[in-house]
C-alpha cells in the first residue's frame, strides 16, 4: 500500500503509548493576596497516569501507588532514539513550536497547521523576547520504556517518562550513551533494545533561582537516575575481560598468560595446560612388517575449529539477559 505524501510519509514506527510517568504534580495553592492558583510540586516518587483504567489498576497492584524505583526495558537501539530531548513552547491551544535551541523542527503556522519545514527559533534569532509571563521554549526530555509488569498483564505498549529538569536530562543522556558504548564494544547488533534498566528517584541538593532577583540558593530536589541492571553490567565486564585477555571461545587463557590465571576464576584451563610437554608415545604395537607412518598407527584427529569469541559472548549475554526478564517478574 502506497503512503500518502505529507500524511503517512515519515511516520515514526512504534506502538501507541499506554501511559505516562511524571515526577511532579499540580496542587492548589493561594497567593499572598489570597487568590487560588495551581502550582507544580516535586514528588519523591513516580506518578503514573493512563487513559485506560485497567492499565492504572495493574500499575497500582503490581508496581505500587508511589514507587521510588522502577524496572524498565528500553525499546530502541540508541540513546538518542530511546531518550529524545527538545526545546518546546506550548500554549493553551497546544504546541507552538519544537526546536533544538536554534532551529525549529516543528512549528504552528498562522493557519493553525503544523509545519516540519526547518525555520529559526524566534527566541534564538531575536525575533521574540523571553519574559516571566512568556518564557518561550523550555527544555523537555522523554524516555520511552516498557514496564514488564504491564506487559505480563497483557497491556502492550510503551510508557513515556517526561522530565523538564536540566540535571535529569544530562544524567539520563550520559548513562544511556555509556551503556550504548558498552553494547557497541561487545558487538551486539540489538543495541540498547531489551536491556533491563533501573529508573529511580534520588534526593540531591542543586542550585536553584532565589526569590531575590539575580541570586541562587541550594535546595533539595528529587532527581531521576537510570542505570543498567547490575547483572547485565557484570556480563559486559566479563565480555570485556575475555576480549582483553584474547581468550579463545573454549575459555582457556591466552598464549603466554598462564601465570596470570588464578584458581577460582571463571576461566577454565585446557586439559593440557603445558604447551611444551610432548604427547605420550603410542603404546599401540605396530603391525608386523609395517613401517612407521603406515597403518600400524592411528592417524591424529583433525583439530576442531574454535567458535569465534564474539559469538560465544553474544550467546552468553543473550541467555543471561533472557533470564533477567524472568527475574524481574513481580511473581519472582
Cell numbers describing residue 104: 525549529
Whether 198 is in a domain gets the answer yes
> Which of 112, 189, 145 lies closest to 21, judged by CA?
145
Whether 184 is in a domain gets the answer yes
Domain assignment of residue 79, given as a range: 38-239+320-327
Whether 233 is in a domain gets the answer yes
How many folded domains does the chain comprise? 1
d(CA 327, CA 332): 6
* Cβ pair 119, 133 in contact under 8 A: no
The distance in angstroms from the start CA to the end CA of the chain is 45
Whether 261 is in a domain gets the answer no
Whether 21 is in a domain gets the answer no
Whether 292 is in a domain gets the answer no
pLDDT of residue 247: 57
Instruction: Convert the pLDDT of each residue in 249-276 to its tens digit.
Output: 555 554 444 444 444 444 444 444 444 4
DSSP secondary structure code for residue 151 in this structure: H
pTM attached to this predicted model? 0.71
With b for 16 or more beta-carbon neighbours within 10 A and e for fewer, the 131-143 pattern comes to eeeeebbeebbeb
pLDDT of residue 250: 56
d(CA 62, CA 25): 22
Whether 149 is in a domain gets the answer yes
Cell numbers describing residue 3: 503512503
The low-confidence residues of the chain, meaning pLDDT below 70, are 1-2, 246-332
Whether 95 is in a domain gets the answer yes
Amino acid at each position: 500500500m502506497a503512503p500518502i505524501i505529507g500524511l503517512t510519509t515519515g511516520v515514526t514506527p512504534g506502538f501507541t503509548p499506554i501511559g505516562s510517568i511524571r515526577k511532579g504534580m499540580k496542587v492548589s495553592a493561594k497567593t499572598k493576596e489570597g487568590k487560588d492558583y495551581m502550582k507544580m510540586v516535586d514528588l519523591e516518587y513516580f506518578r503514573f497516569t493512563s487513559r485506560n483504567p485497567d492499565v492504572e489498576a495493574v500499575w497500582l497492584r503490581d508496581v505500587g501507588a508511589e514507587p521510588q524505583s522502577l524496572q524498565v526495558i528500553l525499546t530502541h537501539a540508541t540513546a538518542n532514539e530511546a531518550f529524545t530531548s527538545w526545546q518546546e513552547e506550548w500554549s493553551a491551544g497546544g504546541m507552538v513550536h519544537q526546536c533544538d535551541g536554534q532551529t525549529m523542527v516543528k512549528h504552528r503556522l498562522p493557519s493553525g497547521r503544523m509545519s516540519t519545514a526547518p525555520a529559526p527559533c524566534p527566541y534564538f534569532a531575536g525575533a521574540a523576547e523571553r519574559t516571566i509571563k512568556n518564557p518561550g521554549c523550555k527544555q523537555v526530555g522523554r524516555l520511552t520504556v516498557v514496564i514488564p509488569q504491564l506487559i505480563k498483564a497483557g497491556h502492550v505498549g510503551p510508557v513515556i517518562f517526561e522530565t523538564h529538569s536540566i540535571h535529569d536530562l544530562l544524567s539520563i543522556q550520559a548513562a544511556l550513551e555509556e551503556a550504548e558504548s558498552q553494547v557497541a564494544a561487545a558487538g551486539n547488533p540489538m543495541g540498547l533494545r531489551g536491556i533491563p534498566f533501573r529508573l529511580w528517584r534520588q534526593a540531591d541538593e542543586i542550585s536553584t533561582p532565589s526569590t531575590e532577583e539575580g541570586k541562587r540558593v541550594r535546595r533539595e530536589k528529587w532527581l531521576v537516575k537510570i542505570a543498567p541492571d547490575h547483572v547485565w553490567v557484570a556480563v559486559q565486564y566479563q565480555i570485556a575481560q575475555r576480549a582483553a585477555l584474547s581468550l579463545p571461545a573454549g575459555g582457556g587463557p591466552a598464549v603466554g598468560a598462564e601465570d596470570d590465571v588464578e584458581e577460582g576464576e571463571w576461566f577454565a584451563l585446557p586439559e593440557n595446560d603445558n604447551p611444551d610437554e610432548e604427547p605420550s608415545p603410542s603404546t599401540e604395537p605396530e603391525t608386523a612388517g609395517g613401517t612407521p607412518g603406515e597403518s600400524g598407527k592411528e592417524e591424529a584427529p583433525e583439530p576442531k575449529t574454535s567458535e569465534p569469541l564474539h559469538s560465544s559472548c553474544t550467546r552468553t549475554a543473550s541467555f543471561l539477559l533472557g533470564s533477567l526478564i524472568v527475574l524481574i517478574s513481580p511473581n519472582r
